[in-house]
Structure 1
Amino acid sequence: MRFVKQGLVYAAAAMSLMAACGAHAEESVSVRLRWVTQTQFAGVYVALEKGFYKQAGLDVKINPGGPNISTETLVGSGADTFAVSGATDAILFAREKKLPIVAIGMTLQTTPYAFVSHQASSIKSVKDFSGKTVSAWFTGSQYQLFTALGNEGVDQKSVSIVSQPFSMQPFIDGKYDVSTVTMYNELLVLKDKNVAVNIFRADAYGVRVQDNAIITSEKMIKDKPEVVQAFLNATLRGWKYAIQNQPEAVDIVMKNGSGLNKTHQTNMLAAYAQLMQAAQGKTRGLGWVDLEAATITNANLLKYQALKSSIDVGPAFTNQFWDKVPAEYKLP
């Protein structure tokens, strides 16, 4: 009997040790969102809810963002491990500031930005912006407006370009002739309010920019490449599931957010999914980084003197982890 008891004690000790090892096997990381909880980040919340991060050996904490939060600074400083950041230009601006961040994936395969005019107005193309008041967010997206104007031969000086608030009400009230929207948010707000508009998508006017970069730090890539790979694998897996199961994905986001309108979140995810699968998204797969687009954006930012000098695109953007993501996680 004594030997049986000893055996049980040893077995219990072994099980405790295994449990402890299992707990430590999960790498604790954080991901910072560029904005508050909404279906713009459904893939991340789905990956957490469905256990994809856990299966990848990660214990992930999601930190929501907001208007005064810089995802690039937080990741560059090591305060957050990963982030869903801004567009191609945001990565280049961060690198100019010597922030050691790297884009390992691009959620939106084409720019989500568009410009709108009231349907009853005489503004039917970007060429018609001349002599008009156009509002834009001065957060980097204004350079997409500059590029569209330049590509259409419109002198920027002929357009009154003003800073745009987050609310679309000034445009609705007629304060601006043209305003900037994202296809997955502000445009939906206008539709909900039955505001009829003409839509001029930035990508239709030669703007080649990706958005909502998935970023990490150079240190993480150097010290823990396996963790970086695991995070990207699980995140894209979460996004694929979210796209294929949108009602469930909306419910998951609603559970994690506050004050969210379910209809708006449903429409947002549908529009967001289209942008994720646009351009090369259908053929190459979700999250692919367009290095050529980064080079083009770099040149445009130099042209408009947004950058003081050219940024080396190579260290700032990479597909080294995306290339190794299992096809079943990234192909639509």
Structure 2
Amino acid sequence: MKRRALKALIAAALVVALLPTLNCKKEPDKISVRLKWTYAAGFAGDLVALRKGIFEKNGLEVEVHEGGFNLSPIKLVASGADDIGLAGADQVLLARAEGLPLVAIAILFQTTPVGFVARKDSGIETPQDFIGRKVAIRPGTDAMPIYEAMLKKQGIDRSKIDEIPAQYSMVPFLEGKVEVWPTYLIYEPAQLEKMGIEYNVIDPKDYGVDTYGTCFFTTEKMIKEHPDVVERYLKSVLEGYRWALENKDEATQIILSFSDKLDSAQERYMFGKMDPFVYGETEEQIGWMDREKWEATQQVYLDVGMLEKPVDLDSLYTTQFLEKIYK
């Protein structure tokens, strides 16, 4: 009898000891993500992962913030205000050259979507045709070094081109004040098609300039102190992109739900153009990156004088998370 009472007492004690574990669900890890720009289809991975509960499934509570002119992902992540960011590979490269401890963890666009358009009736089809024509330029943007590198690769003297500084609005091009317009090939041409304007595309990669586009990045500190969080974030967002590219109509509706300023036709256009930029020309998985392409990207900025010396690529990017996700 005493033995049975002792066993009952021990069992009761075990139940009491286990109650906190049984009743307490592990709190999700909270992180803040800063997009390169405002909400759009290009950031479908994060936005879909948020709406479809993918982050939650992987034990994360994620705040996804818009970027903008005064909301630099580079500055905000470097300062610790945000944990992970999306920015041009060139921006991360140049930030690293300035001593900021930022590390690329995956590539969104395997090739930059920066390109140039000209009206079809202008007869401008190649960079050589820029000579003697009015070409819009955007100093301080990712289009400028791509433009400079393309001309250099083709042996074109910039002084023979009538370069006109421009802002982001396509109005000067639409009004015929400039004949060549720097653009994101996955986005702005939608406006031309909507207006029924026929155009030629001058794609830099066809003329020797093929660099990485947008990438995911974080800090050395985040990688060292919270590698599991970084891995789960990346796993979630890559799943979000795969789902979005396979379910573009539904994904478009999800993107539109984030802002009433978005145009449905423009977002659908972007989804229709994204596949080759996200997947690239290889059979690698979404997000993958390699040294050869990083070297080519860096060389562009060395050639145009934006980098004085090469950056240590071993510290610039890591594939440690992609390797675990795709093993």
Q: Determine if the TM-score, normalized by the shorter chain, exceeds 0.5.
A: yes
Deviation at residue 294 of structure 1 after TM alignment: 1.8
Name the counterpart of 2:167: 165
Alignment of 1:58-207 (within 5 A): 58-86=60-88, 88-138=89-139, 139-207=141-209
Counterpart among 219, 223, 226 of residue 224 in structure 1:
226
SS in 2 for 1:175: coil
Q: How many residues align?
A: 317
CA RMSD of aligned residues (A): 2.2
Aligned match of 2:4? none
Give the aligned residue type for 1:73.
K
Indicate the SS of the match to 2:112. Answer: coil
Structure 2 CA distance for partners of 1:13 and 1:275, relative to 1, 3 Å: same
Specify the SS of the correspondent of 1:194.
Answer: coil
> Which whole-Å deviations, capped at 9, do the CAs of 1:269-320 have from their partners, x for residues lacking one?
121233112223xx01111123222212222212211123321122111212
Tell me the equivalent position of 1:3.
Answer: none
Q: Which residue of 2 aligns with 1:277?
A: 279
Residue-by-residue CA offset, 1:83-137 (whole Å, 9 max, x unaligned): 1111x21111111222211111110111111111111113221111112222233
C-alpha distance in 1 between matches for 2:290 and 2:149: 18
- Distance of 2:170 and 2:250 partners within structure 1: 29
Counterpart code for 2:86: V
- The CA distance in 2 between the partners of 1:261 and 1:12, in whole Å, is 57
Q: Where do 5+ consecutive residues of structure 2 fail to align?
A: 1-10
Aligned to 1:239: 241
- Separation of aligned partners in 2, 1:240 and 1:37: 18
User: For 1:233 and 1:309, how far apart are their aligned partners in 2?
Assistant: 34
What is the letter of the counterpart of residue 143 of structure 1? P
Percent identity between the aligned chains? 31
Question: What letter corresponds to residue 121 of structure 1 in structure 2?
Answer: S
* Contact 2:212/2:297 (<8 A) preserved: no
Greater Cα radius of gyration, structure 1 or 2: 2
Residue 214 of structure 2: aligned partner: 212
Are the aligned partners of 1:104 and 1:216 in contact in 2 as well (CA < 8 Å)?
yes
The alpha-carbon distance between structure 1 residues 246 and 120, as it changes in their structure 2 partners (threshold 3 A), is same
Look up the match of 2:7: none
Shift of 1:184: 1.4
* Cross-structure match for 1:54: 56
> Match of 1:209, SS?
coil
Secondary structure of residue in 2 paired with 1:76: helix
> Contact conserved, 1:184 with 1:271, CA < 8 A, in 2?
yes
Distance 1:12 1:265 in 2: 55
Counterpart of 1:266, as a letter, is R
Match of 1:304 in 2: 304
How far apart in 1 are the matches of 2:190 and 2:104? 28
C-alpha separation in 2, matches of 1:316 and 1:302: 16
Tell me by how many angstroms 1:181 deviates: 1.1
| 3-state DSSP of counterpart to 2:168 | coil
Does 1:263 find its partner at 2:262? no
Structure 1 residue matching 2:142: 3-state secondary structure: coil
User: TM-score, normalised to structure 1's length?
Assistant: 0.89
The 1:240/1:154 distance shift into structure 2, 3 A limit, reads same
Alpha carbons 1:84, 1:214 under 8 Å: kept: yes
CA–CA separation in structure 2 for the residues paired with 1:318 and 1:208: 20
Q: Is the 8 A contact 1:58 1:231 kept in 2?
A: yes
1:41 counterpart residue number? 43
The question of 1:289 aligning with 2:289 is answered: yes
Please, what TM-score do these two structures have when normalized by structure 2?
0.90
> CA 1:162–1:99 in structure 2 vs 1: closer, same or farther (change >3 Å)?
farther
Secondary structure of the 1:60 match is strand
